[in-house]
Chains A and B, each alone.
Chain A
Amino acid sequence: MKIDTAIAMRSQMQTDGVIMAYNGEISDELMITLAEILKRRVGDGADPKRSRTVFAVFMEGVQNLIWHSVGSVRPAGMVIISEVESEVTVMCANRIPRTSAASLKQTLEQLALADKDTIRQLYREGMSRTVEYEGPGAGLGLLEIARRSKQPISFAFVDVSEEEVDYFIAARI
């Protein structure tokens, strides 16, 4: 990368109130390290409730990313946390197979339109579907993010190739 690009990036990050930005391979260990830093950085002490919410959304977002990312040997993706006028945005992105994008998009559209009661109802239904306790949370992670997000979640899909798509999700707290 050229230094001019870095200057522009830094300036952009400052404008957008970026607290933390990461792009690359993500392990469980790295997730925990970043989560601990984030816990201290956002509202800890002054607003423990917000700190817990940001922590939970971050954890669910990154766990989803670790479970579902494709395209490299190890899970990889992007995580950006920003704060503007005391509203925190947690954004995650990763590459997924095109075959799973359609149903994911449908779920996200449903969640973005749903009110809190509907999301809670979906969560309750999701709980009962998860009798086996191995493997990922069977969609509960997305519901958890939607449930804790103050504003409706936003998302985007970007074509990468015939087989793969980049998927972005953002929650505001």
Chain B
Amino acid sequence: MNDLIIESTDRTPAIRFIHQTLRLEIEGESYPEDVAAFYGQVIPTIEQWQRSDVTSLEVSINLIYINSSSMKALYRIFDVLDHGRASGKQVRVQWSYVEDDDVMQELGEDFRDRFPELAVDVKVTD
């Protein structure tokens, strides 16, 4: 499998899926003009991981702002990660938010509560 590396723009996050280190990183702002086109390049890679015999993944999410149409794509990513976990993979998710940003903090908690078995760790960005 090839690594996925998408550089950030003003309105789309940097996304890196590195197979050697088994890490998925999502960082930045997310309000793409075409949500389906942007996340359409990401979700298949994660689905591929879910079907593969790779046994783990470290996920790091650090978003400044995410619009409601991107939320659906992010939810889909969590859904695929959770399926991976359910099929026996070890998945760890770290959700970081900028200090004082209650909305992003609550969103991390919402994901943690919605996917309890993913053990989402919600914490302030270092």
Contact = CB atoms under 8 A, between A and B. Distances in A.
B72 A124 contact: no
Contact of B113 (A124, A131, A132, A135): A124
Interface of A: 28, 32, 49, 52-53, 55-56, 59-60, 63, 120, 123-124, 127-128, 130-138, 140-141, 143-144, 147-148
A45 to B, nearest CB: 14
Interface of B: 10-11, 31, 33, 35-36, 39, 43, 64-65, 67-69, 71-73, 75-76, 79, 100-101, 103, 106, 110, 113-114
B72 A55 contact: no
Contacts of A136: 68-69
A137 B68 contact: yes
Contact of A148 (B71, B72, B75, B103): B103
Nearest to A29: B33
A138 B64 CA distance: 22
Contact of B71 (A52, A55, A130): A130
15 contacts: A32-B10, A49-B101, A53-B103, A63-B67, A123-B110, A127-B75, A127-B110, A127-B114, A130-B71, A133-B36, A133-B75, A134-B35, A137-B68, A137-B72, A141-B68
